[in-house]
Structure 1
């Protein structure tokens, strides 16, 4: 259960008018928070965005984008994909 405080989260998905946020701590997913999408600013209603979310009294007080962290994650993911897409060197066994 997510308690009051400020957290870093990734918007995992939005379905049936609800946003599923994966709460992170030290770079690892530690909890999941489901909120009505209306609690997110319109421009943040998109999967894979990194956000900072503040909760007070169990209520969402603010959600702000972390554009730099989102860009870094996208670049890291693309880099991993590119590495995986490369063909391995051909073996030159006799």
Structure 2
């Protein structure tokens, strides 16, 4: 997996390791009508991320070479949109199904 991808910080473990879920973009086999799907995971030292992108739910442009993390840029505006989309998805999933 080499190139540039959209990644979302899933969690930061013990304040040291950021778990980044790499997403497939629109048009990829791993995408769905609900939006992108995680296609891989990278574990990266949190201090290698941009300071403003070191939080759960941060959306990043991630560069990978030879399967290794090279760098990332924080996509601030998209982080809020991502959080809203996740909240919406959970709200839809938590709705009661009609009785049949």
Deviation at 1:49, TM superposition (A): 0.8
Instruction: Determine if contact 1:39/1:60 at 8 Å carries over to the other structure.
Output: no
C-alpha contact (below 8 Å) 1:50/1:65 kept by paired residues: yes
User: In the aligned structure 2, how far is the partner of 1:58 from the partner of 1:77?
Assistant: 27
Residue aligning to 1:15 = 13
Tell me the residue number matched to 1:54: 63
Structure 2, gaps ≥5 residues long: 26-35, 96-100
Contact 1:52 1:66 in 2 (8 A): yes
Q: Kindly state the Cα deviation for residue 5 of structure 1 after the two structures are TM-superposed.
A: 1.1
* Cα RMSD after superposing both structures: 2.5
Count residues with an aligned counterpart. 85
Q: Which runs of 5+ in 1 are unaligned?
A: 87-94
TM-score (norm 2): 0.68
Which residue does 2:30 correspond to in 1? none
Higher strand proportion (structure 1 or 2): 1
Matched, 1:43 2:42: no
